[in-house]
Chain A
Amino acid sequence: MASFRLPKDAVDFFKELRKNKRFSLQFDIIYFCFIAGIAENKKRPDMKQADLSDVVDEFPISYKSKRSLLVSLLIHRTITSMGIPLSDKKQVNDLLCKLIDPHSKTFMTDEAMKEFNYYVYGGYDVIRKWFSSKPTELSSFLIEYKINLDRILNNPEQSVGAMR
């Protein structure tokens, strides 16, 4: 079974937020990295197994309500990245069959889970670019994160994926 993974460096980068319990779950790190990766369309498939740590096999309880949103973000980003027109029903259907597993608690196939993790790894690189030092306070981290996110979303041309 595929699992959600994190670069080991990311655990160290968010150490202070984990220490003061602002990030109560390691999945919190995965969430912020994934959103950053999706926003900048930055995937990183070249991470070595030794540099990664397995976090969890399914969405934690506190993220269950966000499961559909996160999976739909992955589906949407994958469709747009591949240049598939939403009007092309066959291609969209084929892709959905590759990504969705109705019997999985994550709704994702192993292939989709792999893609999800690639965006997490890429998103960590994006966050390292956004933040010059390790975040120590959740409040200032959230404000800075939102500013960078807005900048990318309001100006998609700046995203890494768009530049490719």
Chain B
Amino acid sequence: MGADNISVLNTIKEDIKNSVESSREKPYTELGNILDELNNLLTQRIDIQNTIDVLEDQAGEQDPKFKKVREEIRKKESHLHQIEAALEKFEDPNDRKKNIDTFGLQILEDRYKQALGGLQEIKDVLNIKRKRDILEKILAETYDKALKSIEQQICQETNEKIQTLLPYNNIRVEKIDKGLVLEGQDSGSVGENLSVGYAFLSTLFTHSAHELPFVVDSPAGAIDLKVRPEVGKLIPKLSNQFIAFTISSEREGFLPALKQACSSDDIEYITLCRKDDSSINNGDSAKIVTTVDGVCVYDEEYFNHFQLEQEKD
């Protein structure tokens, strides 16, 4: 045991020694005597109280006024006890069962404070929710406005390009709703639809952050010969890479304008046909690649003059 503990034990021993002094029995005996004396005094007090009651009864018999006052005092005392008993429930400190029927003021005050804290928390949450709802509404409205604005701008620019492509045609885009909706008509001719499509895609590509290859099957087939040069000139503006599948009849009007709009090296002319087609036999072998059942010719001149007699099944 450490010196500190021994010191404490010595203190305790000393304190006990001082408390009991010379005799261990003395304090016990003294306490017994004091309590005996107290008991006697209590008995005396009861006797005195009984005497007082008897004297008061006698006084009451002799003096009705005294009797009346005494009864009044007793009534008031009784009433006071009733009030004290009634008030007791408001001092109920027992909060163990968390009962909602308690009248304990301290308990209710504690719960009130707790509820106030909870209320403040709810208010904070509601405030955040209200702000979030406003923000969501602003974002939704912003989205709608932005969408409408973009739609209007694209429609406007698309219509300007249509004006360039088809100067003598009144076909116009009214709005965009899952697709292009034309003004006053459900659809145009095949050539009109193709021109509108080019104008629309051209507008989209102008505003796009990404460069995508532009693949078109029969890019000028249904377009009037007068319009084809306009479309051809437009193509290089649509995309850096344009892949078109054409037939011989589409070359006229379209291809020269396209070539003029591009750098001459930018266009790759590829002719594809079946292997048994005799018309390719006289070509330059360096520009010809054969596969199991087909032939591929990389040559501009060949491309410009290619013409099948009859398409075979």
Contacts and interface: CB of A to CB of B under 8 A. Distances in A.
B19 A69 contact: yes
Contacts of B31: 146
B39 interface: yes
B141 interface: no
B94 A12 contact: yes
A71 B5 contact: no
Contacts of A51: 96
Contact of B12 (A11, A71, A140): A71
Interface string B30-56: 011001001101100000000000000
Contacts, number: 60
A157 B96 CA distance: 35
Given A142-B35, A146-B35, A102 B12 contact: no
Contacts of A142: 35, 38
Interface of B: 1-2, 4-5, 7-9, 11-12, 14-16, 19, 31-32, 35, 38-39, 41-42, 91-96
A143 to B, nearest CB: 5
Nearest to B17: A68
Contacts of A139: 38, 41-42
Nearest to B14: A68
A65 B16 CA distance: 10
Nearest to A108: B8
Nearest to A104: B8
A9 interface: yes
Chain B interface mostly: helix
Interface of A: 8-9, 11-12, 15, 50-51, 65-69, 71-72, 93, 96-97, 100, 102-103, 107, 139-140, 142-143, 146
Nearest to B39: A143
Contacts of B39: 143
A8 B107 CA distance: 13
A140 B39 CA distance: 8
Contacts of A9: 94
Nearest to A75: B12
Contacts of A96: 1, 5, 9
A48 to B, nearest CB: 8
A93 B11 CA distance: 16
B42 A65 contact: no
A15 B91 contact: yes
B15 A69 contact: yes
Contact of A97 (B1, B11, B12): B1
A95 B12 CA distance: 16
A51 B19 CA distance: 35
A97 B4 CA distance: 10
A72 B13 CA distance: 9
Contacts of A93: 1
A68 B35 contact: no
Contacts of A69: 15-16, 19
Contact of B8 (A8, A12, A15, A102): A102
B84 to A, nearest CB: 10
Contacts of B96: 8, 50-51
A97 B15 contact: no
A15 B32 CA distance: 26
A5 B217 CA distance: 91
Contact of B4 (A8, A65, A66, A102): A102
A11 B218 CA distance: 98
B93 A100 contact: no
B35 A140 contact: no
Given A67-B15, A139-B38, A143-B35, A100 B5 contact: yes
Contacts of A100: 5, 8-9
Given A68-B16, A102-B8, 5 more contacts: A15-B91, A68-B15, A97-B1, A102-B4, A139-B41
Contacts of A107: 8, 11-12
A51 B15 CA distance: 34
A15 B94 CA distance: 13
B5 A72 contact: no
